[in-house]
């Protein structure tokens, strides 16, 4: 892509790519750590609810006092987005409601937007991406996070002429994790609550990684960006190491564990009895491909690729993802090339709030990673037919019906303020991309 040479030219001309960061948490801090060593890139403004904490994060990752002094810190992201002082906004709050507002404000002000906030992207990304395209700005997934890296592998495979059979990521998973809460999460990570607190680790956020919600969100984002299908009954999390991807992630009709070819799936780094999977892919991403002809299948053998027994299915994978340390690729692709590193194209996958235990009418839902619900991946048409409540809106709303453990929560099961902007945006997305469009996509 020659991004670095373009960056050097911008640096020499005194015209750096100007970035506005919203949210200086872990992901944002990892990005900030790379800024001092990236010529031609400038973080002009950082918006965080606690500006002093954001300044401390900059010091922690190695910024000099001089560089901190050149950067404006604010708690008002909307003013930053209207300032005319940035070329690219990075939304890294993780708050789906705030993320929708920030994305729309960036688009309205002609600013490219990199959505680290996969929660917001899954909630209404198809609508936001369409609005961005109409406005002539880039709406992009965040390179370094697993959805963008998986979308890149899918694009590579298709551009090479391979059929994509499956794509996704690895994670640590056991079925019992769906019931995990912020009170039990550290037991599964082998930490005490005190150790986690000392490291600044948020129990609800880390629980969303464990209970299946984050995996569901990321797979929905990949499905919506690539046109791959969501599994008909949610993610199965089959155990599989890198040597076994092409064997396990084939259609069931051919001896694998996929409901059908062309879908997203997450593989577990643990066998169902808790033993570690050999050569697991816990931190990585993958794509399973099929050779289009006998000659290509022969090339798989000749060049040492791992295949299934037929020799026709193989897999490519990236064993690690570096999260915010790789985010520059998205920022520079948007600013210098006018292209996203993965972007929502349609509404194929959705994530519905699902009861972790028997819930009673009158209880308050506490959202992603909390005590009450986890997010289950569904095909969009299934979610719409069900009237499923998206996990991104399942925080701070009260139930008006009893929900059995494992059952989905529906819009009709909660009292929700339909006048909220986030609810309006989601409803507009459903109206624009639901119904016949969602059915046709299947």
Q: Does residue 34 lie within any of the structural domains? A: yes
Same domain, 65 and 28: yes
- Residues 257, 328, single domain; the answer is no
Asked if residue 239 and residue 216 are part of one domain, the reply reads yes
* Closest listed residue to residue 331, CA positions, set 5, 146, 111: 111
pLDDT greater than 90 at residue 198: no
**Does one domain contain both 105 and 9?**
yes
Q: Is the pLDDT of residue 1 over 80?
A: no
The answer to whether residues 159 and 286 belong to one domain is yes
| Tokens 């670095």 -> residue | 4
Say whether both 295 and 155 belong to one domain.
Answer: yes
Q: Given the structure tokens 């990199």, which residue do they identify? A: 114
Indicate if the pLDDT at residue 352 is higher than 70.
yes
Q: How many Å separate Cα 88 from the centre of its chain?
A: 19
Each residue's pLDDT tens digit, 288-340: 999 999 999 999 999 999 999 999 999 999 999 999 999 999 999 999 999 99
Tokens, residue 412: 């009709």
- Whether residues 128 and 79 share a domain: the answer is yes
| Residue 355 three-state SS | strand
| Domain hosting residue 257, numbered range | 147-173+212-321
15 and 135 in a single domain? The answer is: yes
Rounded Cα distance, 378 and 355, in Å: 15
Which of 312, 337, 362 terminates a domain? The answer is 337
The span from the CA of 223 to the CA of 230, in Å, is 6
Residue 99 is assigned to a structural domain of this protein: yes
Q: Dig out the tokens for 243 from the structure.
A: 């040597």
Distance of CA 164 to the CA centre of its chain: 20
User: In terms of domains, do 291 and 353 share one?
Assistant: no
- Check residue 2 and give its pLDDT: 82
Q: Which residue has the tokens 């639901």?
A: 434
Span 252-264, mean pLDDT?
96
Task: Say if residue 165 is in the same domain as residue 260.
Answer: yes
pLDDT, averaged across the chain: 95
- CA–chain centroid gap for 207, Å, is 15
Q: How far apart are CA 333 and CA 339, in angstroms?
A: 6
Tokens of 91: 């939304």
């Amino acid at each position: 892509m020659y991004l670095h040479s373009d960056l050097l030219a911008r640096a020499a001309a005194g015209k750096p790519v100007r970035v506005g960061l919203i949210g200086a948490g872990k992901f944002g801090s990892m990005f900030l750590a790379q800024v001092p060593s990236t010529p031609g890139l400038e973080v002009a403004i950082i918006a965080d609810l606690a500006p002093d904490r954001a300044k401390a994060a900059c010091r922690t990752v190695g910024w000099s006092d001089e560089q901190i002094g050149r950067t404006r810190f604010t708690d008002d992201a909307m003013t930053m987005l209207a300032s005319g002082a940035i070329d690219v906004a990075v939304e890294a709050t993780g708050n789906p409601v705030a993320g929708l507002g920030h994305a729309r404000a960036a688009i309205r002000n002609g600013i490219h937007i990199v959505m680290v906030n996969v929660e917001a992207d899954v909630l209404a990304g198809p609508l936001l991406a369409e609005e961005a395209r109409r406005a002539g700005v880039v709406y992009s997934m965040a390179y370094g996070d697993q959805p963008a890296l998986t979308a890149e592998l899918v694009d590579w495979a298709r551009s090479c002429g391979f059929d994509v059979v499956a794509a996704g990521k690895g994670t640590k998973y056991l079925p019992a994790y769906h019931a995990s809460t912020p009170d039990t999460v550290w037991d599964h990570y082998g930490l005490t609550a005190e150790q986690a607190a000392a490291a600044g680790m948020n129990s609800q956020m880390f629980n969303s990684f464990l209970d299946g919600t984050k995996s569901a969100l990321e797979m929905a984002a990949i499905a919506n960006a690539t046109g791959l299908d969501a599994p008909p009954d949610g993610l199965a999390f089959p155990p599989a190491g890198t040597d076994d991807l092409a064997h396990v992630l084939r259609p069931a009709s051919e001896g694998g564990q996929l409901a059908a070819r062309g879908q997203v799936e997450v593989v577990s780094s643990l066998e169902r009895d808790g033993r570690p999977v050999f050569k697991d892919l816990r931190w990585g991403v993958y794509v399973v491909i099929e050779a289009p002809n006998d000659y290509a299948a022969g090339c798989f053998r000749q060049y040492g690729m791992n295949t299934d027994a037929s020799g026709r299915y193989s897999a490519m994978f990236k064993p690690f993802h570096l999260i915010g340390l790789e985010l520059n690729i998205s920022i520079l692709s948007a600013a210098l090339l006018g292209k996203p590193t993965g972007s929502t194209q349609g509404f194929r996958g959705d994530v519905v709030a699902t009861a972790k235990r028997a819930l009673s009418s009158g209880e308050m839902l506490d959202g992603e990673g909390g005590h009450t619900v986890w997010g289950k991946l569904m095909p969009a048409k299934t979610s719409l037919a069900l009237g499923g409540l998206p996990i991104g809106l399942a925080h701070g709303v009260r139930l008006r019906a009893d929900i059995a453990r494992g059952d989905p929560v529906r819009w009709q099961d909660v009292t929700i303020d339909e006048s909220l902007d986030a609810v309006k945006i989601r409803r507009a997305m459903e109206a624009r991309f639901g119904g016949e469009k969602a059915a046709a996509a299947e």
